[in-house]
Chains A and B, each alone.
Chain A
């Protein structure tokens, strides 16, 4: 069984409930696990539409669920694994993505595309509602590129659908914006220079008043990205650091070829020895992580906010 991944394009709440309540109710009747990740203002009407079946559906607030694309993928992995462990054969999902600020729209469109690959063999059916009253036209249009099936008036295969490998290459993850001059620039020459970079960032965070717990994830990501650069990159490796009161942004640059697999960092690692555990964790922990390969330079920029 493969994942059915559909988009629902809608412009009124009655239509939202009219499509999704029967969809989830049917899942309940078929003894499938049913999950609705929706904004608070949609939870009430959807519960009402489901009637008694609402008790069998797990509701999650979308603002809590859609914080970072990679951790949302990890969340789905855990949720599906849990459902299967409890004896469900399949999962029905309503997932209304919180696209957030405009600068992150492409991040979430890339996430929607990656789902088709990461969960290709997942026994489930997911419908992602797109509210045309709230979302920009470009975001809604991109839903046709990231969902094999679209319900817009009628249910039909999307002729504009693109394979994840193609879309992720065509649509770059936007880089977290920074000022032109970093606060600190360090050269990465060997593993001990990675330790020095950690010390520097720890000192910066300390001066900003961040406690140890807040900075430990950042130090881990710095280590993993810097080591990836030392091991896989080429030429002059540097780390740049920007600090603001509520965020620290770092960037590791080298002359490497960049990632061969555009889905690296989205797929959960198969085992501890498989490549990509560090990048997976970096994606999990960072508030914003972007990898760019341009003009012969590979650039990984990541931001942690307090």
Chain B
């Protein structure tokens, strides 16, 4: 089996194995397999009495979802008429407001989930294709923050979410940034991650080293506006080096004007060692290391 085949098999498994509160970054490079994954995902949701929303892009795997569902024997028209299945445009839904703020999707999903629960359904299952962002610079820049809010929402409500990224269209840097703000990811490389806990606290976990330092800086700065609290739980940081620690400190200073000091909760001993040995407290006054 070729490496690419291994990757897509892992991705397909990742989609079909999802459960409520999962928020998957689904990276694909083969539309046929992605179409099959989407089909399985939608069918599994309907079988669990979840309302299913598919936000798609022209030419992307979701474009043929109705056809695939009919071929599988599902009454697509009835499902859509009853509201169990909604298929809409990702770009139009996310950017419908005058301000082009993609965070609108978070509000749409929150409202739809509550409505589904009111109607006796078990929750909402969402699939979003993300290609529309690539020619929307402002929305693209704000996207990690949207994903983070989405992550928090998926923790708080019975939502299962898949955000689909075509690896052939996304730049590696933006893709890596997007992957970090999902609780699950289809590609099994790298371990750096930032996601929301159920109490709204953000958790940074994995190896914050030289390779990840730039991503960590960009992630902390780009998502600052969407964070519900100034607390960043770093208990899951398994390793940090000087570059990684510096990126955290520099990012916290960059956002301090709007965000105030950042409290690094459960700072691991190595982070403290760097901070204390290099006497960085004075250089990074907007960082508070906490137990």
What residues make up the interface of A, taking CB atoms closer than 8 Å to B? 74, 191-192, 194-195, 198, 213, 216-217, 219-220, 223-224, 227, 268-269, 271-273, 277-278, 280-281, 284-285
Determine which of B209, B210, B242, B283 lies in contact with A281 in the assembled complex, contact meaning CB atoms within 8 Å: B242
Assuming the contacts A277-B242, A277-B278, A280-B278, asked whether A220 and B273 have C-beta atoms less than 8 A apart, the reply is yes
Q: A194-B209, A277-B278, A281-B242 are in contact. List 14 more A-B contacts (CB 8 A).
A: A191-B210, A195-B209, A216-B239, A216-B269, A216-B270, A217-B270, A220-B274, A223-B210, A224-B241, A227-B241, A272-B278, A272-B283, A272-B284, A281-B274
Contacts of A192 in B (CB 8 A): 211
Main secondary structure of the interface of A (DSSP, over half): helix
Inter-chain CA distance A194–B269, complex, in Å, is 21
A280 B277 Cβ-Cβ under 8 A: yes
Mark interface residues in B194-223 (1 if CB within 8 Å of A CB, else 0): 000000000000010111000000000000
B270 A269 Cβ-Cβ under 8 A: no
Pair count A-B, CB < 8 A: 62
Asked if B243 CB lies within 8 Å of chain A CBs, one says yes
Task: For the complex of A and B, list the 8 residue pairs with the smallest distance between their C-beta atoms, beginning with the closest.
Answer: A191-B211, A223-B241, A278-B242, A216-B270, A272-B283, A277-B242, A284-B277, A272-B246
B273 A285 Cβ-Cβ under 8 A: yes
B278 A269 Cβ-Cβ under 8 A: yes
Smallest CB separation, B64 vs chain A (Å): 38
Inter-chain CA distance A227–B246, complex, in Å, is 15
B207 A195 Cβ-Cβ under 8 A: yes
Inter-chain CA distance A192–B278, complex, in Å, is 25
Smallest CB separation, A80 vs chain B (Å): 13
A213 B274 Cβ-Cβ under 8 A: no
Asked if B170 CB lies within 8 Å of chain A CBs, one says no
Assuming the contacts A192-B211, A272-B278, asked whether A217 and B273 have C-beta atoms less than 8 A apart, the reply is yes
Asked if B91 CB lies within 8 Å of chain A CBs, one says no
B284 A194 Cβ-Cβ under 8 A: no
Contacts of A220 in B (CB 8 A): 239-242, 270, 273-274
Contacts of A272 in B (CB 8 A): 246, 249-250, 278, 280, 283-284
Smallest CB separation, B12 vs chain A (Å): 26
B277 A224 Cβ-Cβ under 8 A: no
Smallest CB separation, B38 vs chain A (Å): 32
Contacts of A198 in B (CB 8 A): 239
- A231 to B, closest residue via Cβ: B210
Asked if B279 CB lies within 8 Å of chain A CBs, one says yes
- A191 to B, closest residue via Cβ: B211
Inter-chain CA distance A154–B277, complex, in Å, is 39
What residues make up the interface of B, taking CB atoms closer than 8 Å to A? 207, 209-211, 239-243, 246, 249-250, 269-270, 273-274, 277-280, 283-284
Contacts of A195 in B (CB 8 A): 207, 209, 211
Inter-chain CA distance A195–B191, complex, in Å, is 12
A271 B283 Cβ-Cβ under 8 A: yes
Contacts of B243 in A (CB 8 A): 227
Inter-chain CA distance A277–B278, complex, in Å, is 7
Contacts of B279 in A (CB 8 A): 268
- A270 to B, closest residue via Cβ: B283
Smallest CB separation, A140 vs chain B (Å): 32
A223 B273 Cβ-Cβ under 8 A: no
Inter-chain CA distance A239–B273, complex, in Å, is 24
Inter-chain CA distance A272–B277, complex, in Å, is 11
Inter-chain CA distance A198–B210, complex, in Å, is 13
Contacts of A269 in B (CB 8 A): 278
Contacts of A268 in B (CB 8 A): 278-279
A-B contact pairs, 6 of them (CB 8 A): A223-B209, A271-B283, A272-B280, A281-B242, A281-B274, A285-B277
Inter-chain CA distance A304–B277, complex, in Å, is 17
Smallest CB separation, B75 vs chain A (Å): 50
Smallest CB separation, B275 vs chain A (Å): 10
Smallest CB separation, A286 vs chain B (Å): 12
Inter-chain CA distance A273–B283, complex, in Å, is 10
- B189 to A, closest residue via Cβ: A192
Smallest CB separation, A214 vs chain B (Å): 11
- A269 to B, closest residue via Cβ: B278
- Most B CB contacts (10 A, CB to CB) among A268, A271, A272 go to A272
Assuming the contacts A216-B270, A281-B274, A285-B273, asked whether A273 and B210 have C-beta atoms less than 8 A apart, the reply is no
